[in-house]
Structure 1
Amino acid sequence: MIDLSGKTALVTGGSRGIGRATALTLARAGSTVVVADRSDALRTDGASTSDLIRAAGGRAESLLLDVSSSAAVDAVFDDVAARHGIDILVNNAGVLSPGSVTETSDDAWRSLFSVNVDGTFFCMRAALRHMVPAGRGGKVINVASISGLRANPGFAGYCAAKGAMVNLTRQAGIDYAPHGINVNAVAPGFVETDMTAIYDAPIRRALEAQTPNGKWATAQQIADTILFLSCGLSDHLCGEVVAVDGGWLVGTPVVVERVTAAGGIA
C-alpha cells in the first residue's frame, strides 16, 4: 500500500481525464491535493475534482491557474508552498492540435508550446524554487506522450512540444537529483480521454490493431504509473520517461498472417 500521508501534491489540468484520475489516486493514497487549472475552481455543481476528493473524505482544493502565465504560476505556487509546502508536482495540463508543418498556424503552434512546454517549465521552476530550500526532496512528474518519443503523422506541433518536454525532463532530472528531487515523466500512448475523441471509430480500430496488447489505456492506468513515480518506490529513477502505451514503442505490430516456427502461415 502506497502511503503519501503528510505530502502535498499539486496537479495541473486536474479537472478531467488523466489529471482527474491522478488527483483522485494521489488523494486516496493520503496526500493533500491541490488541483490547479483553468476550469476546476469555477465549477459550482459540486462535481469538481476537489469536491469529489472531499466527499470521499480526502483533503483537496481547486485553484484557478493558467499555466502559460509565468506570473500566475509563481503566485499560485508561492501561496500553496506557504500554506502546505509542495512535495509532488504533476505537470498534466496540455493541449492537442493536429496538423502537419504546413497545416499548422502560428496561433496553433504558439498554443501548443505555451501550454505544453512553457507551462511545464514555469511550474517546474516554481515548484523547484520551493523544494530545493525546503531540503526534504520531492517528486516532479511531467505528463509527456509517446508523440514526444517518435513521430506521429499529422501532429508536427504536438510532437515537437512533447519532445521538448521529454528532454526538459531529462535535463532537470540530472540537475536536481543531488537535491533528492526525482524529475521523471510518463509518456502515455492512446488513452480513453476527451482529448482522443478526435479519432473516429475506423481510425480507432486501426490504432488498436497496431497496439501490441490490442487496446487503449484508461486514465486510471496512467494515474497508477504517476502514483508510482510520486512515492518512494521510484527514488532511484532520474530523468526517466516511462511509456504507458500497451507496447507501442517496443514494436508496433504489422497486421499480416502469423508465420509459424516451421515456416508456414498460421
Structure 2
Amino acid sequence: MIDLTGKKAVVTGGSSGIGRAIATTLAKVGAHVVVADLTEEAREGGEATAAVIVAAGGSAEFVKLDVTASAHVASVFAELDERLGGLDILVNNAGVLREGSVHETDDETWRTQFLVNVDGTFHCTREMVRGLLARKSPGKIVNISSISGFRGNPGFAAYCATKGAIVNFTRQVALDYAAHGINVNAVAPGFVTTHMTALYDQATHDALAAQTPRGRWASPQDVANAVLFLASPLADHVVGDNLLVDGGWTIGTPVELGA
C-alpha cells in the first residue's frame, strides 16, 4: 500500500478534471495537498477541490498561482517551502488546449499554449528543484505530458509542440538531478473525458474509443493512479520516464479484418 503521510504535494491546475483527481488521490494516501490554480471561487475552482479533500478527512489548502509569471511562482513556492517545512512532491498539471493547424494558428494562440504548458512547467520545476537542493532533500516531480508529445494530432499544432517539449524536458531534468534523489517523470494521457476534451462531438468520441485497443477513453482517475505511482517510493528507481496512460493508442490501433 502507498502511504504518503507527512508528504507535502503541490498540484498545479487542480481545480477540476485530471488535476482534481490527482489532488484527491494524493490526499487519500496521507499527503497534504496544495491545490494551486488561477481558478478560485467557481464551482470547479481550487477552493472547491480543497474542500472536497477536507470533507473526506484529508489535508489540503488552496493557493492562487499563475504558472506563467516567473516571479509570482518563485514567491509562492518560497512561502510554501518555509511555512510547510519543505515540499516533497510537485505535479505539473496546469495546461491549456487550443485547436488549429499551423496556418490557422495566430501568435497569441501559439504563445498562450507555450506560456502555460511549457513555461509554467519550467517555472514550477525550477522552484521545486531549488528548494529540494537547498534542503538536500529527495523529492518527486511528475509532469503531465500527452500522447500528442509522441505522435501528431491533426489540427493541434501548438499543443503537440508543447507536449513534445515536455517529454524531452522531463528526460533532461531527470538526468540532471537523479543523483540528488530527485525523481522526475511524466504521465502521458491519451484521450481523457474532461471539460478540455468536450470540443470533440459524440461521433468523434466514439470513433476514437473504437480505435483504442482498450476500447474506451481514460477517466481522470486512470491518470491520477499513474501519477500516484510515480510520486510514491515504489517509483524511486524510475527516472525520466513518460508513462503512457492511453489504453494502447500509441502502440497501435485495432485492425478490422474482412470476412
Shifted more, 227-236 versus 49-58: the winner is 49-58
CA drift at 1:209: 1.1
Partner residue in 2 for 1:220:
221
Aligned residue runs from structure 1 range 41-80, under 5 A: 42-43=41-42, 48-80=48-80
- Which has the greater radius of gyration? 1
Shifted more, 204-213 versus 108-117: the winner is 204-213
CA drift at 1:83: 1.1
Q: Match of 2:208, SS?
A: helix
Retained in 1: the 8 A contact 2:15–2:44?
no
Q: Is the counterpart of residue 168 in structure 1 residue 169 in structure 2?
A: yes
Aligned length: 257
Partner residue in 1 for 2:20:
20
Aligned residue runs from structure 1 range 1-266, under 5 A: 1-40=1-40, 42-43=41-42, 48-84=48-84, 85-254=86-255, 256-257=256-257, 265=259
CA drift at 1:44: 8.4
Q: Match of 1:102, SS?
A: helix
Between the aligned partners of 1:257 and 1:201, the Cα distance in structure 2 is: 25
Between the aligned partners of 2:49 and 2:193, the Cα distance in structure 1 is: 18
Between the aligned partners of 1:127 and 1:17, the Cα distance in structure 2 is: 24
In structure 1, give the amino acid aligned to 2:7.
K
CA drift at 1:252: 1.9
Between the aligned partners of 1:177 and 1:105, the Cα distance in structure 2 is: 38
Between the aligned partners of 1:133 and 1:237, the Cα distance in structure 2 is: 23
Percentage of identical aligned residues: 58
CA deviation digits over 1:156-212, x for unaligned, max 9?
000000100111000001101000010000000000100010000111111111101
Between the aligned partners of 1:149 and 1:77, the Cα distance in structure 2 is: 31
Between the aligned partners of 1:75 and 1:252, the Cα distance in structure 2 is: 46
TM-score w.r.t. length of structure 2:
0.96
Q: Match of 1:221, SS?
A: helix
CA drift at 1:11: 0.3
- RMSD (Å), alpha carbons: 1.4
CA drift at 1:253: 2.3
In structure 2, give the amino acid aligned to 1:11.
V
Q: Match of 1:30, SS?
A: coil
Change (3 A) 1:113 1:12: same
Shifted more, 106-115 versus 47-56: the winner is 47-56
Q: Match of 2:128, SS?
A: helix
Between the aligned partners of 1:194 and 1:82, the Cα distance in structure 2 is: 35
Q: Match of 1:204, SS?
A: helix
Between the aligned partners of 1:236 and 1:252, the Cα distance in structure 2 is: 31
Between the aligned partners of 1:122 and 1:168, the Cα distance in structure 2 is: 12
In structure 2, list runs of 5 or more residues that go unmatched. none
CA drift at 1:224: 0.5
Between the aligned partners of 1:45 and 1:123, the Cα distance in structure 2 is: 22
Partner residue in 2 for 1:262:
none
Between the aligned partners of 2:60 and 2:135, the Cα distance in structure 1 is: 22
CA drift at 1:45: 9.7
Between the aligned partners of 1:70 and 1:121, the Cα distance in structure 2 is: 9
Between the aligned partners of 1:73 and 1:161, the Cα distance in structure 2 is: 20
Q: Match of 1:227, SS?
A: helix
CA drift at 1:18: 0.5
Partner residue in 2 for 1:261:
none
CA deviation digits over 1:6-37, x for unaligned, max 9?
10000000000000000000000100000111
CA drift at 1:54: 0.9
CA drift at 1:135: 1.8
In structure 1, list runs of 5 or more residues that go unmatched. 259-264
CA drift at 1:56: 1.2
